[in-house]
Chain A
Amino acid sequence: MPHTAYIYDAVRTPRSKGKPGGTLHEVKPIDLGAGLLRGLQVRHDLDTAYVDDVVMGCVTPIGEQGSDISKMIVQNADWDESVAGVQLDRFCASGLEAVNIAAQKIASGWEDLVVAGGVECMSRVPMGSNGGPMGSDPAFAAKTGFVPQGIGADTIATLEGWDREAVDRFALESQRRAANARDNGWFDRSVIPVRDESGVTILERDDFIKPDTTMEGLGGLNASFEMIGQFGFDDVILRKYPMLDRVNHVHTPGNSSGIVDGSSAVLIGSEKAGKDLGLTPRARIVATAVLATDPVIMLTGPGPAAKKCLEKAGLKKEDIDLWEINEAFASVALRYMRDLDIDAEITNVNGGAIAMGHPLGATGAMLVSVVLDELERRDLKRGMLSLCVGGGMGISTIIERV
């Protein structure tokens, strides 16, 4: 690689319920994003004119999030007029895709300082409200065998033989770890509180985590996808996986990622940028990978993506100290650990999206700060971040402390 892509900082907003009643429901997406840009600016006394581009993931880019929201966030943050902005959409991987593209921009030498992140106010712009052919074009859906992701997650569990208890147990541990990390202040370095225009705090820390979760409570929840499965989606699965006689519906709101509002931003730059601006790198981006697997189940990409990423980096599994897999559904994380044969003790060590929520376009870049903080706290070297992605894609990034 001609140039090293350094991570100079990584921040995120706290996450809150992405529905009316959620603490961040009152905040516009452009304000959520701009708060982080201003936060980075203040922390590093950043000359924003130095920034080449701001790349932000957003999965529902319509309405308040429409029309290149990244550029609007740049303007809303009162950054220098010269700073560009672009919004991208690689479904749930958008935030990490933004990081990877930023890294590639730096690595190529064509840009020197880029902010990568994402924003998603799921309470204000509901998931799926932007349509798209995947489920809404009958001819395409018929041809490709579309099922909602939850059905895919249930299919993974069915294929692997994970019952309700197995997925609930995973969810319970996610809640425990997340609450523990938050309460010990392990997230504090990266979480920038959301404040109003007068500086009054709206939300300081993640408030979606449910520390009182119990196995009994989880066990009492209804399976989310049983009914729609019976409408015909289960049959789509059985046609693709004819060795199954049924889909075992194990996923519930309790063991699936939460619908939340949130935003993230990672400051990525060249060595030159660091020198010019007096920034100290925290880590570097070692390698990135993206690929696609079965689009019907849609959620089995992360394991293969991580393997591809290791190969690109010339590293082995043993070279990774901490693993982070977005908890879209419990079975996704379980499948990732099984595919890679890695230990739960070093995977999602501070919980994940089941406990903290998954603000679609923002999550990928949130993982950077989550893992980097923990690598530093434990004084470890490398972390692997992965997400499952709509359409069957998988994405991975390896970061390494410097």
Chain B
Amino acid sequence: MTMHYDKDGDGIVTITMDMSGPVNAMNDEFRQDFGEVVDKLGAEEGLTGVVIASAKKVFFAGGDLNELIAVTPDRVEEFMQGITRIKNMMRRLEKLPVPVVAAINGAALGGGYELTLACNHRIAYNHRSVQIGLPEVTLGLLPGGGGVVRLTKLLGLQAALPFLLEGKRVDPVKALDAGMIHDLVTDLEQLVPQAKAWILENRDNPDAAVQPWDRKGYKIPGGGATSPAIQQAITGGTAMLMQKTRGLLPAPEKILDIAVQALSLDLETALKIESRGLAALTLTPQAKNMISTFFFGLNKINSGASRPDVPKQKTSKVGVLGAGMMGQGIAYVSAMAGIDVVLKDMTQEAAEKGKAYTAKLLDKRVERGRTTPEQRDEILGRILATNKDEDLAGCDLIIEAVFENMELKHNVTRQLEGYLAEGGTWGSNTSTLPITQLAEASSKPENFVGIHFFSPVDKMPLVEIIVGEKTSDEALAKAFDYTQQIKKTPIVVNDSLGFFTSRTFGTYLDEGVRLLHEGVHPVLIDNMGKAIGMPVGSLQVYDEVSMELSRKAQATWREMGVEDKWGDGTILREVVDTMVVKNGRGGRHHGGGFYEYGDDGSRKVWPGLLDLYYRSDVCLPEDDMKDRLLFRQVIEALKCLETGVLRSEEDGNIGSIMGIGAPVWTGGLIQFVSTYGYDRFVARCRELAAAYGDRFDPPQIAVERASQEQSRAA
């Protein structure tokens, strides 16, 4: 029995869920066993109340994503029946003539929180392990177990929407403030007793057994569908949502639509359209992409699928060389993770300036009440700013973050690797320079690994770890464990020019520049980038990363003889040269680039750009422009997979989303093709190649997968 059924002397039955899997979840077992429990409760003589509790650490984990991701059009009706069965159980639970109390001992997310919404009263253990919320939207789904409908009816439309549309998770105190739960206990032992006490206290209160929405004359907080304030909120809210999603994510649109209807529909009807909405969403490529990458893919990465099987290593003292933008960010995230940091630069002044960055960020946290002044001082105290080499002595990890120049990096390595502790690891933060070549300066290249951070380091969640030819499993594991220690997500790639992220991202810049060179209006180019879901257009982002830097990087590549290794860069070089050299427009931080930047934060196209490239007679189909900007990146990612630069698809997907802002709806650049269809992808590549050039030729791996797809279908 997975549902312990225990009736006490007061007539209160406590259901303690203890399902056979690692967590309590909404699966077949639940449908069977919980259904029996509700039947039994309905027939129970002398019942005075019910407490729903959990024997697991997590209260209840929610839906079974394996089940959800597998829904196909021919099975959608069956899926609907499954949801309906669970919803009917919950409905019967909340309609019991006695109070039902949820005793929330652990995380109640998604289906877990939905189960509690079908209870009359919700008490939670006030502990940081207890998270409450409805995160379904982050996987392209909606809370289909009554979550959209009940939360809207409970809190009102405007209060419910942030939880529904953003999947916001909160701790018990915030959940209490928001009205999502009713009470807290500080002692876990008191949870069930307090739930029972509430039932006894409310013995004479008939409303205690009736859900708000089942009470006569219940008014939804904040107003019903016809109230002018709500009408305005709906009209404005839709626009705000679309501004965020650009129409690329069906789930939040569907949620908003159902929440609005829930304002005026009765509960049962609203629950029905909610089920239909979930069923429809499970069929969307967006949901399949997002579940596949953000749940299964990310779990795989976090559990160390890309990490060699060697003992865990904890970094306790990290040396950071170079206190510039990257170095100071690395120092901050390391100190925040409790690691001692030696932040070294050429001068004491530069090192102190780098440390001041951490002080600034910490001050902000103190201001916002997220950090106490004592914690701030402690964290700041972990960073030693210095210009002395010998202060690096005893570091078990040194991360070199000096300027992207092979010779400079070689020198630094030779000069300072001796200070590493015995068996310590040398990490080089570089976005493009080959690790194997960098490691040539090292006396122990097996201890040398690439650790590519993204800017700004404190915000970007990804670290790309690069395995050089001689990098040992231990050094790789060290970098991997350090990345997790600083609470970032590691992907692991093999050494190759530009690795995975920079190389792939470069194609987005290149294609934008090509469109410009063909005469397309720069505003249109950047709006096309945004239309596919990139955070910013390619020209704008090129301004941010700086064409000046790009020009220097190209010079380095030319010296290395690898200038056109991944494709013909003639047009890109020509445009960059025209912009930077002939017109002095190196990018945003060089006084402007493709755009002009006002002191007030305004941005408009540099008029000279139109004179240089714009041709009013050029008119490309929008779909072509959009596909060009997306497919270039997808093709490059597939090439990385094909040639082993990427060691797994998951790394490519998570890396592209977290590192270079690949559109969330794709679930990553490689996952995108899985739902787009390889066959269709190859055909579209060929069309684009015929019209725009052989850079769109489909990679071999895609052609192979397309034929596998065909033989499967046959």
Decide: B524 and A139 in contact? CB cutoff 8 A: no
Q: Which of B514-553 contact A (CB under 8 A)?
A: 521, 523-524, 526-528, 531
A138-B257, A138-B260, A139-B254 known; A146-B238 Cβ under 8 A? yes
Cα separation A174 to B521 with both chains bound (whole Å): 37
Q: Which of B239, B246, B257, B622 contacts A147 (CB 8 A)?
A: B239
| Binary contact readout B609-639 vs A (1 if CB under 8 angstroms, 0 otherwise) | 0000000000000100000000000000000
- Is A245 interfacial (CB 8 A cutoff)? yes
Q: Is the CB of B605 within 8 A of A245?
A: yes
Q: Specify the chain A residue showing the minimal Cβ separation from B246.
A: A239
Which residues from B are CB-within-8-Å of A238? 527
Beta-carbon contact of B239 and A233 below 8 Å: yes
Asked whether, in the complex, the Cβ of A235 is within 8 Å of the Cβ of B239, the reply is yes
Q: Which residues of B contact A219 (CB under 8 A)?
A: none
Contact between A228 and B236, CB atoms less than 8 A apart: yes
Scan A232-272; emit 1 where CB is below 8 A from any B CB, else 0. 11011011001111000000000000000000000000000
Complex contact A136–B234 (CB within 8 A): yes
Chain A contacts of B234 at CB under 8 A? 135-136, 138
Neighbouring A residues of B605 by C-beta, 8 Å: 245
Given the contacts A239-B531, A242-B528, A139 and B246 also touching, CB distance less than 8 Å: no
Say yes or no: is A142 at the interface (Cβ < 8 Å to chain B). Answer: yes
Q: Does B242 contact A (CB under 8 A)?
A: yes
Cβ of B657 to closest chain A Cβ, rounded Å:
22
Contact B257 A242 (CB under 8 A): no
Residue A110 at the chain B interface, CB threshold 8 Å: no
Do A138 and B256 have beta carbons less than 8 Å apart?
yes
Q: Do residues B242 and A243 form an inter-chain contact, with CB atoms below 8 A?
A: no
Is B240 touching A142 in the complex (CB atoms < 8 A)? no
In this complex, what residue of A is CB-closest to B595?
A245
A142 lies within 8 A of B527 (CB): no
Assess whether B237 is in contact with A138, with CB atoms less than 8 Å apart.
yes
CB pair A142–B523 under 8 Å, yes or no, is no
* B254 contact set on A, CB distance < 8 A: 139
- Confirm or deny: A278 has a beta carbon within 8 angstroms of a beta carbon on chain B: no
Q: Do B231 and A131 touch (CB < 8 A)?
A: yes
- Report the bound CA distance from A148 to B231 in whole Å: 13
Q: A236-B242, A243-B524, A245-B605 are in contact. Are A146 and B235 (CB under 8 A)?
A: yes
Also in contact, A235 and B521, with CB within 8 A (given A131-B226, A135-B235, A142-B247): no
In angstroms, Cα B247 to Cα A138, docked, is: 12
> How far is A15 from B215 in the complex, measured between Cα atoms in Å?
48
A139 and B257 in contact, given A242-B524, A242-B527, A245-B605 (Cβ under 8 angstroms) = yes
Report how far A165 CA is from B235 CA in the complex, Å: 30
B241 within 8 A of A: yes
User: Could you tell me which residues of chain A, from 105 to 152, have a CB within 8 Å of some CB in chain B?
Assistant: 128-129, 131, 135-139, 141-142, 145-148
**In the bound complex, how far is the Cα of B44 from the Cα of A247, in angstroms?**
65
- Segment 229-286 of B: residues with Cβ below 8 Å from A: 231, 234-244, 246-247, 253-254, 256-257, 260
Judge whether B459 is part of the interface by a CB distance below 8 angstroms: no
The answer, yes or no, to whether B228 is at the interface (CB within 8 Å) is yes
Which residue of A is nearest B230, CB measured? A136
A129 to chain B: which residues have CB within 8 Å?
Answer: 228
Q: Which residues of A contact B528 (CB under 8 A)?
A: 242
Q: Is there a chain A Cβ closer than 8 Å to B75's Cβ?
A: no
Question: In the assembled complex, which residues on chain B have CB atoms less than 8 Å from the CB atom of A233?
Answer: 239
Q: Is B368 in contact with chain A by the CB < 8 A criterion?
A: no
Q: Give the contacting residue for B235; candidates A136, A239, A242; CB below 8 A.
A: A136
Given contacts A135-B235, A139-B253, A142-B253, contact A242 B241 (CB under 8 A): no
The answer for the CA separation of A242 and B253 in the assembled complex, in Å, is 22
CB-based contact B237/A243 at 8 Å: no
Cβ of B360: which chain A residues have Cβ within 8 Å of it? none
Q: Is B565 an interface residue (CB 8 A)?
A: no
Give the docked Cα–Cα distance between A225 and B605 (Å).
24
Q: Which residues of A contact B242 (CB under 8 A)?
A: 142, 145, 232, 235-236, 239
**Given A142-B247, A245-B604: A232 touches B235 (CB 8 Å cut-off):** no
- In contact, B246 and A232 (Cβ under 8 angstroms): no
CA distance A157 to B244 in the complex (A): 25
A118 to B247, CA, bound (A): 38
Distance between Cα atoms of A145 and B526 in the complex (Å): 20
In the complex, A146 Cα to B253 Cα: how many Å?
Answer: 14
CB pair A142 B231 closer than 8 Å? no
Residues of A within 8 A of B237 (CB): 138
Task: Report A-chain residues with C-beta under 8 Å of the C-beta of B243.
Answer: 231-232, 235-236
Chain A residues within 8 Å of B253, by CB: 138-139, 142
| Chain B contacts for A131, CB-based, 8 A | 226, 231
**Inter-chain contacts of B226 with A (CB < 8 A):** 131
The distance in angstroms between the C-alpha atoms of A320 and B253, with both chains bound, is 48
Query: With a CB–CB cut-off of 8 A, which chain A residues contact B523?
Result: 242-245
B-contact bits for A138-179, CB 8 A (1 contact / 0 none): 110110011110000000000000000000000000000000
Q: Given the complex of chains A and B, what is the CA–CA distance between A131 and B240 in angstroms?
A: 19
What is the minimal beta-carbon distance from A228 to any residue of chain B, in angstroms? 7
- The docked-state distance in angstroms from the alpha carbon of A245 to that of B523 is 6
Task: Provide the residues of chain B in CB contact with A142, threshold 8 Å.
Answer: 238, 241-242, 247, 253, 256-257
Between A128, A147, A245, the greatest number of chain B beta carbons within 10 A of the residue's beta carbon is seen for: A245
A 247-302 contacts with B by CB, 8 A: none
> Can you name the residue of chain A whose Cβ is closest to the Cβ of B603?
A245
A145 to B243, CA, bound (A): 11
Query: Which residue in chain B gives the minimum CB-CB distance to A142?
Result: B253
Whether B527 contacts A232 by the Cβ 8 Å rule is: no
Minimum C-beta distance from B292 to chain A (A): 25
Cα(A244)–Cα(B530), bound, Å: 13
A232 touches B260 (CB 8 A): no
Beta-carbon contact of A231 and B531 below 8 Å:
no
Alpha-carbon distance A365/B257, docked complex (angstroms): 38
Query: Which B residues are CB-close (under 8 A) to A228?
Result: 236, 239
Q: How far is the CB of A154 from chain B (nearest CB, A)?
A: 14
Check if A243 sits within 8 Å of B231, measured CB to CB: no
The answer to whether B231 touches A232 (Cβ under 8 A) is: no
Give the distance to chain A from B3, nearest Cβ to Cβ, in Å: 38
Contact assessment for A232 and B247 in the assembled complex, using a CB-CB cutoff below 8 Å: no
> Which interface residue of B235, B246, B260, B604 has the most chain A CB atoms within 10 A?
B235
Bound CA span A244–B228, Å:
32
| A141 and B235 form a contact (CB under 8 A) | yes
CB distance from A143 to the nearest CB of B (A): 8
A141 → chain B closest CB, angstroms: 4
A385 to B259, CA, bound (A): 43
19 A-B pairs besides A138-B257, A235-B243, A242-B531 with CB distance below 8 A are A136-B231, A138-B237, A138-B238, A138-B253, A138-B260, A139-B253, A139-B254, A141-B238, A142-B242, A142-B256, A145-B247, A232-B236, A232-B238, A232-B241, A233-B239, A235-B239, A236-B242, A242-B524, A243-B524
Q: List 24 A-B contacts (CB under 8 A).
A: A131-B231, A135-B235, A136-B234, A137-B257, A138-B238, A138-B241, A138-B256, A138-B257, A139-B253, A139-B257, A141-B235, A142-B242, A142-B247, A142-B257, A146-B238, A146-B239, A147-B239, A231-B239, A232-B240, A232-B241, A236-B239, A236-B243, A239-B247, A243-B524
Interface residues of A (CB under 8 A from B): 128-129, 131, 135-139, 141-142, 145-148, 228, 231-233, 235-236, 238-239, 242-245
Question: Which 3 A-B pairs give the minimum distances between C-beta atoms?
Answer: A232-B239, A232-B243, A242-B527
